[in-house]
Structure 1
Amino acid sequence: MQWYVAKGECFLREMLIDSIRVSLMNYQRVVILKAKDADRYLPIWIGASEADAIAVKLQDVAISRPLTHDLLGSVINSLGAKVNGIVVSDLDQDTFYAKVILAIDGDTMEVDSRPSDAIALAVRTSAPIFANESVLDKAGVDMDAETGKPKQLSNSNQRAPLREEELKSLSAFTEFVSTLDLDDLGETKSDEGDSGDQPVES
Structure 2
Amino acid sequence: MLELVIDGIRVSLMNQQRVVILRVKDTDKYLPIWIGPSEADAIALKLQNVTVPRPLTHDLLFDVISSLDATVDRIVVHDLSDDTFFAKIVLQVNGSTMEVDSRPSDALALAVRTESPIYAEDSVVEKAAILLDQETGKAVQEEDEEDAEARPVSEEERAGLSAFEDFIGSLDLDLGQGQGDAPTQNR
TM-score of the two chains, using structure 1 as the length reference: 0.76
CA 155–64 in structure 1, closer or farther in 2 if over 3 Å, else same: farther
Q: Name the CA distance, whole Å, in 2 between partners of 1:131 and 1:74.
A: 25
Shift of 1:150: 3.0
Of residues 100, 124, 128 in structure 2, which corresponds to 1:111? 100
Residue of structure 1 aligned with 2:182, choices 175, 191, 197: 191
1:1-202 correspondence runs (5 A): 12-145=1-134, 147-152=135-140, 170-179=160-169, 181-187=170-176, 190-191=181-182
Contact between 1:139 and 1:170, CA under 8 Å: does it hold in 2?
no
- Structure 1 Cα separation of the partners of residues 174 and 107 of structure 2: 22
Q: Which runs of 5+ in 2 are unaligned?
A: 146-156
Instruction: Give the 3 Å change call, closer, same or farther, for CA 50–155 of structure 1 in structure 2.
Output: farther
8 Å Cα contact 2:132/2:173 also seen in 1: no
CA contact (8 A) 2:3 2:117 kept: yes
Separation of aligned partners in 1, 2:142 and 2:163 = 11
Post-superposition CA distance 1:91-128 (Å, at most 9, x none): 10120100100000110011110000000000001101
CA contact (8 A) 2:4 2:23 kept: yes
**CA–CA separation in structure 2 for the residues paired with 1:184 and 1:89:** 26
d(CA) in 2 for partners of 1:102, 1:114: 15
Q: For 2:161, what is the secondary structure of its paired residue?
A: helix
Point out where structure 1 has 5 or more consecutive residues left out of the alignment. 1-11, 158-166, 193-202
For residue 160 of structure 1, what is the aligned residue in structure 2? none
Quick one: distance in 1 between partners of 2:105 and 2:64?
19
- 3-state SS, counterpart of residue 139 of structure 2: coil
Cα distance in 1 between the residues matched to 2:81 and 2:176 = 29
Provide TM-score, normalisation by structure 2. 0.82
CA gap of 1:77–1:169, structure 2 versus 1, over 3 A, is farther
Q: Deviations over 1:62-91 (max 9, x none)?
A: 111100000000000000100001011111
- Report if the CA contact (8 A) 1:140-1:153 is conserved: no
Q: CA deviation at 1:177?
A: 2.5
- Higher RCO by CA contacts (8 Å cutoff, separation 6 or greater): 1
Tell me the matched-pair count.
170
Please state how far the C-alpha of 1:155 moved relative to its aligned partner.
9.2
> Per-residue deviation at 1:185?
4.2
